[in-house]
Amino acid sequence: MSLKLDSTVTLNNGVKMPQLGLGVWKVNNSGASQSVQWALKHGYKAIDTAKQYGNEAGVGDGLQKGLAENGLKREDIFLTTKIFNGDQGYQSVLDNFEGQLKRLQTDYVDLLLIHWPVDGTYLDTWRALETIYKSGKARAIGVSNFNITRLKDILQICSIKPAVNQMEYHPLCQEVDIKNFCDENNIYLEAWSPLGGGAVLSDTRLKTIADKYNKSVAQVILRWDLQNGIITIPKSVHEARIIQNADVYDFEISDDDMDEINGFDADKRSLWYGDFFWSGNPDGFKDSVDVWDDEPQFTK
């Protein structure tokens, strides 16, 4: 299986998307700017953010600096952002999306996702995404954290099929039913939190497999993603780790080891939404933009 850092998958509308990129959840604006610059310096072609992360301005700053520093053009980079829960609804999405583009310092994004399926609004929000897509301000559109029922709701009313469903996905949380449904409907599954936090990285079974390939557990997980056809966006704010996360193209996991890792699924979500039962808006967590300690030159 021949892969490299700029390897792409082809979405259902023909747009090519890098299979590995940088995520910036829980990174402040200055940290996001620096991480994006490092990622572009070391060959990454995809960056994933969201309004809810509170760091679109930092990503936009890092993107502009990284493009200039590395002789790149905007079209060389695949940029994803997401619709904030508080902005959902047809007209509200259209009114607020322009602000997202301004913060990102771009006139289009490559992929625009509904961040969460907020009950009562996500169908109208999808219609707004179709309008944005038709305007050329998003090259592809999709969803995040959608289960099969909600994906079916979208498929019943859409004129443009979602290209991507972004989910928590790692060896202990493989979302097999959702992955199979997405495969059947030509929707790519994209992994957020692909490294799954401490519970996954400290798994002794994965450590045994990683030692066999002389790789870290994180590198084995990311390679497992790639070989499973998953788009993956590991987050890091450390240059050395950003480099290490991309160093997954000089080995291939055997079929037997792939099958073994596939058997580790325990439906174990590692992060704060572990009790999320598709109620649309659990715990009120996503009703406000996260604000992290930051430098004053960035606007939220």
**Domain locations in the chain as residue ranges:** 16-267
pLDDT of residue 277: 44
Residue closest to 116 by CA, chosen among 271, 299, 284: 284
d(CA 111, CA 159): 17
pLDDT at 1: 59
Handedness of CA 155, 157, 162, 167 (dihedral sign): negative
- Give the residues of the chain that fall short of pLDDT 70: 1-2, 269-288, 290-300
d(CA 85, CA 98): 16
| Residue 42, annotated as binding a ligand | no
> Other C-beta atoms within 10 Å of 260: how many?
16
Catalytic amino acids? 53
Give the pLDDT of residue 118. Answer: 86
Q: Which residues contact 79 (CB under 8 A, 6 or more apart)?
A: 46, 47, 49, 59, 63, 104, 106, 109, 110, 111
How high is the pLDDT of residue 80?
Answer: 98
Residue-level pLDDT at 198: 74
Token pair for 113: 């996702």
Evaluated on CA atoms 181, 149, 154, 93, the torsion sign reads: negative
* Whole-number Cα distances in Å, 156 to 160, 165, 171, 187: 11, 16, 31, 15
Phi-psi region of 54 (alpha: psi -120 to 50; beta: other; left: phi over 0): left
The CA radius of gyration of the chain, in Å to the nearest whole number, is: 18
Rounded to the nearest 10°, the torsion over CA 271, 274, 278, 281 is -60
**Cα-based distances in Å from 284 to 85, 87, 118:** 10, 14, 11
Q: How many residues are given for the chain?
A: 300
Tokens 């890098």 map to which residue?
Answer: 18
Q: Which CATH architecture has domain 16-267?
A: Alpha-Beta Barrel (3.20)
**Eight-class DSSP state of 69:** H
CA–CA dist 193, 174 (Å, integer): 12
25 by DSSP, 3-state: which? Answer: coil
